[in-house]
Structure 1
Amino acid sequence: MIKGFIVSILALFIITACSNDSNQVDSFMHIHGLEYSQNDESIFLATHMGLININESGWELIGEPEHQHDFMGYTIKDEETMISSGHPGPRSDFVDPLGVIISYDFGETWKPIALYEEVDFHLLHLNEKNQEIMYGIDVYNSNFYRSDNGGYDWEMLDTTGLPEPLASVLSLTSHPQSPDYLLAGTETGLYESSDGGLTWTLKETNLSASALQTLDSDSEDLIAYLLGEKEGLFFSEDFGETWASLNFELESDYIMYISNHPTDEQKLIIGSLNQSIYETTNFGGSWEVLAEEGQKKK
């Protein structure tokens, strides 16, 4: 068992609420996605209570109440398009689970496009170079899926080799230039697949990753939060064959989400299991705390 997984991913936390007369928020419940905007300097935070935009003016809950869902597997596809899974909000007419939903207006409105009422993808991954290729792990039935047309159609794969249940997989990524080659972080080690997720083998027995993030479409650069014989945030230039420490490690917590800025290669933002958010503007040289245990830093 890899050290550091004592805390359950399903742990629940206490939240405070947004103000009564605006969409400004000071706190949130659960980080379910964390991404830099593709067209400005803001940050999008997917939570149990909806999508939050972090910008110079404050933290704003996006959309009307009927579109404020419990987003899971949230990611940004391009400047305007976002894709996610999860559960409908209390004011929504959608049915649980949401399957795959998409937004073409920066998260203001959402509509289902696939597997509606069928799956809840807690992990939803887009290949860095070819964003038509996507992978998802459904926690409802613990199945592994692949899409070759941007999430509109999916094939459930008869996956073998990953530890059961598949819903316990913590992180997933694909090689930017070879999207059939995958890495997955689990409680028992780091696994790899060379056939698009059909079969898996154990790559590292004493090392795993709670978060994995490729940095661009034309390199093998990879950021990971490692657990085991290496602990903390690490950088790889060869898609996980070798690692260099970024000298960032948490106690009694670990990173679950990593996002790199689309134009500034020095900027990274990371989110933890215990709902803390950190940002660096010098590739790990120093860090600013944006949120601590679900509470916005003043």
Structure 2
Amino acid sequence: MKAPFSRLPAGARLVLPAAAAAAGLLLSGCGGTAAPPSNAAAESSGATKAAAAAAELYGHVHGISADPQSGRVLLATHNGLFEAGSGSAAPLSPVIDLMGFAAGDGQFFASGHPGPGSDLPEPVGLIRSSDGGRTWEQLSRQGESDFHALTATGSGVIGFDGQLRITEDLETWQTVDAGFHPYSLAGTPTSPVVLATTEQGIHRSDDGGKTWSSPEDGPVLLLTAFADDATVAGIAPDGLVYTSSDAGRSWQKAGNASAPPEAMTAGIGEGGKLLVWVYTANGLEYSDDGGKTFAPQGT
């Protein structure tokens, strides 16, 4: 699947393909008396309606923040930051198109576009929230950068706005000619390691994005997420999940999400279990067995 990796100009939106075959099947039935829907069909219909309502509310999910201890999951979306499963249509943040989003160390970094009535510039550049998304501080590149890929590392912040850029002080930026255009970036605030997903495969940096290498036999992934400094989950464009226990040097196949992914995150649960959250066209999905199996979680 190459379509999800087509690099669009800065400011354009990438839309992942959605499975539409089921709708065609439903419309192509033969004539005659329809059988009453089964419980399974009714549950499926309810899940589909819930996912459709969530899609209308969020627009598109660009990032996820999850707390393994409390189970609280936040979704960074086209329409701002929401708590998954809260049952509330009210965002936790102002309406901002959070195209780039990174969580860690008690704060959020983001980039994207201001919503209606916002006093943020267009594009918003690099912004930060230290109060759960309620307010945002302008840090740098306001009116200049819309970072579609963004992550925080132990060395600073790295983002891609058409060029790969890194900052150690959150104000001054260095452009890196890495030789690739990443679809996504992943790091952890306690390590300088960064992973970049590209159409050619995984790229890996040990120095906060200054230099890069390509691990041998690395899978082609759309998204990756660190659970801790060594443990990583990744997902391919078709929903196949991989895991790594050596910070992205080598990968093993796990299971499958139900559909192509929009966003993902990972964490470590009780007993050292790898927890994985993926947002797809079917809503939020959760795995507590290292990505082997997934179950729906409140959208």
Structure 1 residue 199: deviation in Å? 4.2
Is contact 1:100–1:112 with CA below 8 Å preserved after alignment?
A: yes
- Residue of structure 2 in register with 1:237 after alignment: 245
Is contact 1:62–1:107 with CA below 8 Å preserved after alignment?
A: no
Structure 1 residue 70: deviation in Å? 0.7
Is contact 2:255–2:293 with CA below 8 Å preserved after alignment?
A: no
**Residues of 1 paired with 2:70 and 2:79: CA distance?**
23
Quick check: 1:51 aligned with 2:48? no
Q: Which has the larger radius of gyration?
A: 2
Is contact 1:268–1:283 with CA below 8 Å preserved after alignment?
A: yes
Quick check: 1:136 aligned with 2:148? no
**Residues of 2 paired with 1:212 and 1:91: CA distance?**
34
Query: AA paired with 1:213?
Result: A
- Residue of structure 2 in register with 1:21 after alignment: none
Deviates more, 1:207-216 or 1:37-46: 37-46
Quick check: 1:224 aligned with 2:219? no
Alignment of 1:33-72 (within 5 A): 33-37=63-67, 40-55=70-85, 57-63=86-92, 67-72=94-99
What do the CA deviations read for 1:90-115 (whole angstroms, capped 9, x no partner)? 12122200011112221112221211
More helix by share: 2
- Residue of structure 2 in register with 1:214 after alignment: 226
**Residues of 2 paired with 1:234 and 1:118: CA distance?**
35
- Residue of structure 2 in register with 1:115 after alignment: 141
Check 1:236–1:170 CA distance in 2 against 1; reply closer, same or farther (3 A cut): same
**Residues of 1 paired with 2:16 and 2:252: CA distance?**
33
One of 170, 173, 186 as aligned partner of 2:186: 173
Alignment of 1:1-298 (within 5 A): 4-7=1-4, 10-11=14-15, 27-37=57-67, 40-55=70-85, 57-63=86-92, 67-79=94-106, 81-127=107-153, 130=154, 133-138=156-161, 142-149=162-169, 152-162=170-180, 166=181, 169-174=182-187, 179=192, 181-204=193-216, 207-217=219-229, 220-226=230-236, 232-250=240-258, 253-261=259-267, 263-264=269-270, 265-266=272-273, 267-272=275-280, 274=281, 276-290=283-297, 296=299
Structure 1 residue 279: deviation in Å? 1.0
Aligned residues: 256
Is contact 1:44–1:53 with CA below 8 Å preserved after alignment?
A: yes
**Residues of 2 paired with 1:284 and 1:160: CA distance?**
30
Is contact 2:225–2:234 with CA below 8 Å preserved after alignment?
A: yes
Check 1:125–1:143 CA distance in 2 against 1; reply closer, same or farther (3 A cut): same
Is contact 2:76–2:101 with CA below 8 Å preserved after alignment?
A: yes
Give RMSD over aligned pairs. Answer: 3.3
For normalisation by structure 2, the TM-score amounts to 0.72
Query: AA paired with 1:125?
Result: T
Check 1:177–1:110 CA distance in 2 against 1; reply closer, same or farther (3 A cut): closer
Structure 1 residue 178: deviation in Å? 5.5
User: Which of structure 1's runs of 4+ aligned residues deviate more than 4 A?
Assistant: 174-178, 262-265
Runs (5+) with no aligned partner, structure 1: 17-23
Is contact 1:161–1:199 with CA below 8 Å preserved after alignment?
A: no
Check 1:35–1:155 CA distance in 2 against 1; reply closer, same or farther (3 A cut): same
